[in-house]
Amino acid sequence: MNLSDELKAFIRTHEADDVHSLALQAKQYADIDMQMAIRQIAGRKIAKEKIPSWHANNNIVYPKHLSMEQCSSEQTARFKASLCRGESMADLTGGFGVDCSFLAHSFKDVTYVEQQSELTEIAVHNFKILEQDIKVVNEDAVKYLSAMSPASLIYIDPARRDNTGKKTVQIDDCTPNILDIESLLEEKSEQVMIKLSPMLDISLAVRSMKSVSDVYIISVNNECKELLFIKKRGNTDKTLYHCVNIQNSNTDIYTFRKEDEDDLFLDYATKIAKYLYEPNASILKGGAYKSIAKAYSLDKLNPSSHLYVSDVLCENFPGRKFIVDNICSLNKKDVKDFLTGIKQANITTRNFPLSVQEIRKKTGLKDGGDIYIFATTLADDRKVLLICRKA
C-alpha cells in the first residue's frame, strides 16, 4: 500500500490539475500507475478542506471517492473525541478511519473493524503513518460484535445506501440495522455512539431506540452535517438534545430537553424590535423553537416563523444577528417606497407563502450584497419583509 517516491512526486506535481483532464493524458505517463495517482490527487483535494491535518502528511493513502465522500470531517471527528474517554473502544464500521483515528486519542485500546479489505489495508498503512497503535480487523460488523469482548465504547456509523447505491435515511434502512442489534450492543458496551443521517427525524429515532441519553446535532459553519446518538446502558433519564455549531473561531452548543420545549408557553412579539435573530442550523433541526427564546430573553415573531427580536443586542446568541432597518409588505407601493435604490439583497423566507425566486421576480433584487431581507409572517398573520443588515 506504500506509494513509491516516483508516484508521490507525480501526485505533488499534479495536485492542482483537473483529474478528468489528467485521466485523458494517461498514455503520456506509461511508468505511472495513473488509476492510483488520480485517486490520490482526488482524495487530497477533498482532504485539504475536510481533513487538513491528514492532507499535510504526504504519506497518507486515500480510498475511492465514495469513502472520501462518506467519511467524517476532521472538525466533527475531533468533536466526537471530546465527548468520551475510557479504556477500550471498537469502531465497528471503520471506513476510511477518520473517526477511529481521532477517537483513538481518548482510549488506550482501540479496534477498527471494516468488512471491505481494501479499506482495511489503507487503514493499516495510515495508522502506522500516524503512529497510532490501532488493531485493524477485516470483518463484518455484526459478526465481530457477536464475538468481541466488552468495550468502554462502541462507535458505529451504519452504511446509508441500499443495494442499488441510493442514499437512505431511516434507521431500519441502514446496514447494519441498529434496531436489530440494540440488545447485543448494550450487552457489549455501557456506551454506544451512533452516527446517523442529518435528514433523520430525531424524535422518531429517539422513540425507536432504547436508552438514548444524548443527541448531538452537529453543524459545521451553520450546515447540518450529522446526528450523533449516545446510548447508555439502562438509561431512563429524558434525552438531552445538544445543538452544536462548529465554527472556525468557536463552537456554539445549546442544550435542551424536548419535553421542556413542548411544555413551554410563549408570548409572541407585538412589534418589530431593533434586533432580529436567526438560530443556527442545529437549533432549527433540533426544534428548540420556544426554549431558545426563553433562554436568551427574546420575543418570537410567530409560532411557525422561528425568527426572534429584542430591543437590546444579545451578543452571545447562537446564530445570526441583524439590525432591522425597515419593515414593509410586498405590495407595489411598499416595494417602491422601501426598496428603491436597493439593487441586491440576501433573501431568506421563514413561514412565507412565496419562494425566494418569486420574491426576486416581484422586487427585481439580485442576490448578494450587505442587505438581508427576511420574508416572514408576524404574530397577527401579516406577511412582511424585514430589511436588515448584520449586527
Domains of the chain: 5-62 (no CATH), 72-258 (3.40.50.150), 264-390 (3.30.2130)
Neighbours of 337 (CB within 10 A): 11
pLDDT (mean) for 332-355: 92
pTM: 0.93
pLDDT at 163 (0 to 100):
65
Q: Are 228 and 193 in contact (CB under 8 A)?
A: yes
Give percent of the chain with pLDDT exceeding 70: 99
pLDDT at 3 (0 to 100):
86
Chain segment 209-246, per-residue pLDDT in tens: 999 999 999 999 999 999 999 999 999 999 999 999 99
Q: How far apart are the C-alpha atoms of 46 and 335, rounded to whole Å?
A: 44
Chain segment 279-313, per-residue pLDDT in tens: 999 999 999 999 999 999 999 999 999 999 999 99
Chain segment 134-149, per-residue pLDDT in tens: 999 999 999 999 999 9
Q: How far apart are the C-alpha atoms of 217 and 266, rounded to whole Å?
A: 24
Cell of 377: 409572517
Decide if pLDDT at 335 tops 70.
yes
pLDDT (mean) for 93-99: 97
pLDDT at 67 (0 to 100):
94
Q: Are 95 and 71 in contact (CB under 8 A)?
A: yes
Question: What confidence category does residue 167 fall into, taking pLDDT thresholds of 50, 70 and 90?
Answer: confident
Chain segment 185-198, per-residue pLDDT in tens: 999 999 999 999 99
pLDDT at 162 (0 to 100):
65
pLDDT at 171 (0 to 100):
86
Q: 39-43, 203-207, 328-332, 356-360: lowest mean pLDDT where?
A: 328-332
Single out the residue of 52, 46, 40, 48 nearest to residue 12, CA to CA: 40
Decide if pLDDT at 131 tops 80.
yes
Q: Is the peptide bond before 176 cis (omega within 30 degrees of 0)?
A: yes
pLDDT at 316 (0 to 100):
95
Question: Average pLDDT, whole number, for the chain?
Answer: 94
pLDDT (mean) for 42-60: 96
pLDDT at 380 (0 to 100):
94
pLDDT (mean) for 173-202: 94
pLDDT at 97 (0 to 100):
97
Neighbours of 232 (CB within 10 A): 16
Decide if pLDDT at 21 tops 70.
yes
The pairing of strands 275-279 and 319-328 is: antiparallel
Decide if pLDDT at 174 tops 90.
no
Decide if pLDDT at 375 tops 80.
yes
Question: What confidence category does residue 164 fall into, taking pLDDT thresholds of 50, 70 and 90?
Answer: low
- β strands within 233-365, DSSP E: 240-246, 251-257, 275-279, 299-300, 308-310, 319-328, 346-350
Q: 236-240, 324-328, 335-339: lowest mean pLDDT where?
A: 335-339
